[in-house]
Amino acid sequence: MASSQDYEELVEVDAGTAMGELLRLYWMPVLPSKDLIAGKRPTRIRLLGEDLVAFRTPDGEVCIQGAVCPHRQAPLFYARNEVGGLRCVYHAWKFNANGLCTGMPNEARARKHPEKIRIPSYPCRERNGVVWAHMGNDRGDASELPDLPAVEWNMVPEEQVYISLRVQQCNWVQALEGEIDSSHAPILHGRVDGGGLRSQTAWDNDLDPELEAVDTELGTMVGACRESGDKNYWRINHFMMPFWTLVPPTSPYPNLSGHAWVPIDKHTTLTFMFSYQPTEPLPEKVTRLYRDGARGRQSGHLSEDAHLAGPDAHIRPFGAYWPTLNAANDYGYDETLEESHFSALPGLWVQDAACQEALGPIMDRSKENLGASDLGIIRMRRMLLKAARALRDDKERPPSSDRPELYAIRAASPTLDRDTDWRTGSAEFVSAGGDYGYDVL
């Protein structure tokens, strides 16, 4: 178990906290590029406890800046998006793409110096339809920042990847932990009628896998081993610093997937999910499943009809990505689903979210009873705390913050000979650019 003090340190994300400063070393995915239209009004977002606005200038540049005018604290999500920057509608003070005030027309007689006034402005980059932000420099200077991480899902053409966003109402660590917990998947997401898209495999038949974990420069690689005839079936998950997870493929579609669990603040998380195929477009039936769900059930992606809509949808950060299924309506719990599924919660992400957030945004982890199946969670917590404290106490930066090439890896699910070491036997599969590491059993 984690002490209350340690867990509180883990989930803090504000500037000046140990974990908040660690997180500010990394690029984070924020929005699909299509959400920001040139010259249109700013949209409300919130990252690492800071209220911000995101917008695309009339010239096409993406900006993420502070949400408050430093003059009279007026909200900038009502600002005019003009050539040259945002203009506050209260007194027409204007701020350029670097956050610098370039004009204050109501103070012309006083001859104030606008160049001494600024709002926070964070570096942004775009790649393959995704907007990224770096919260480590509030003056918009990206000249000394590393390249974007070489995560494979954002390196392939857009037609080979499907992304979705949803807001999860719990802290980011609480959400992240679920995806490196390999033993929960065949239970929580399992069926009791033998139906579904995935046939019975070693994954289903062995609910108590043998777990091993290896710490790397990037994070932690967790292998879950189950016997499959005279071989071993391995499911290899990854935790990648500071908020990334990768999960292995399953039949019938060997799509690779994972999440960035981006902290909105210490109580809410932007759950950024990606599914992709490295060498070819995703089949239309797969993207349709992600987009629409199936027979009233959700996939791992928030379906398009499950976004909150209506006049209030955009009055909070990431307003378009709050799910209609949440604790207020018991996540759509439906007892009739128990005839076919182990859980009466309607779909994959719903099941995960209900178990992760229903008891509150910050659970008391000092009351939990961890077991051997929680090895990955234990290693992840230790790694994050160690890295945050090393940065705070010794100014030591983790290798992953400056080496984007480390992120070129995959999760895998190979079947290996019993006498093969899983780390060497899976090497070709976990390297981006290699084989899928996928077996139909």
What tens digit of pLDDT does each residue of 347-365 get? 999 999 999 998 889 888 8
Residues 123, 262, single domain; the answer is: no
Q: What is the pTM of this model?
A: 0.92
Residues 185 and 232 in one domain: yes
Residue 62 lies in a domain: yes
In this structure, the answer to whether residues 361 and 234 fall within a common structural domain is: yes
Residue 11 covered by a domain: no
3-state SS string for the chain: CCCHHHHHHHHCCCCCCHHHHHHCCCEEEEEEHHHCCECCCCEEEEECCEEEEEEECCCCCEEEEECECCCCCCEHHHCEEECCEEECCCCCCEECCCCEEEECHHHCCCCCCHHHCECCEECEEEECCEEEEECCCCECCCCCCCCCCCCHHHCCCHHHEEEEEEEECCCHHHHHHHHHCCCCHHHHCCECCCCCCCCCCHHHHCCCCEEEEEECCCEEEEEEEEEECCEEEEEEEEEECCCEEEECCCCCCCCEEEEEEEECCCCCEEEEEEEECCCCCCCHHHHHHHHHCECCEECCCCCHHHECCCCCCCCCCCHHHCECCCHHHHHHCCHHHHHCECCCCCEHHHHHHHHHHCCCCCCCHHHCCCCHHHHHHHHHHHHHHHHHHHHHHHCCCCHHHCCHHHHCECCEECEEECCCCHHHHCHHHHECCCCCCECCC
Domain that holds residue 285: 152-430
- Residue 66 included in any domain: yes
- CATH code: domain of residue 50: 2.102.10.10
What are 380-426's pLDDT values in tens digits? 999 999 999 999 999 999 999 999 999 999 998 888 999 999 999 98
Residue 147 resides in a domain: no
Q: Does one domain contain both 272 and 334?
A: yes
Residues 128 and 158 in one domain: no
Domain co-membership, 375 together with 234 = yes
Are 382 and 333 found together in one domain?
yes
Question: Is 200's pLDDT higher than 50?
Answer: no
439: in domain: no
Co-location of 172 and 267 in the same domain: yes
Please write the tens of the pLDDT for every residue from 17-59.
999 999 999 999 999 999 999 999 999 999 999 999 999 999 9
- At 403 the pLDDT is 96
pLDDT at residue 435 greater than cutoff 90: no
Domain membership flag for residue 408: yes
Domain membership flag for residue 12: no
CATH code for the domain of 176: 3.90.380.10
Question: Domain check: are 55 and 156 in the same one?
Answer: no
pLDDT at 439 over 50: no
Let me know whether 157 and 278 are in one domain: yes
Name the domain count of the chain: 2
In a domain? residue 354: yes
- Comparing 155 with 255, which gets the higher pLDDT? 155
Asked whether residue 259 falls in the same domain as residue 172, the answer is yes
Same domain, yes or no: 161 and 128: no
Q: Given 84, 100, 134, which residue is the final one in a domain?
A: 134
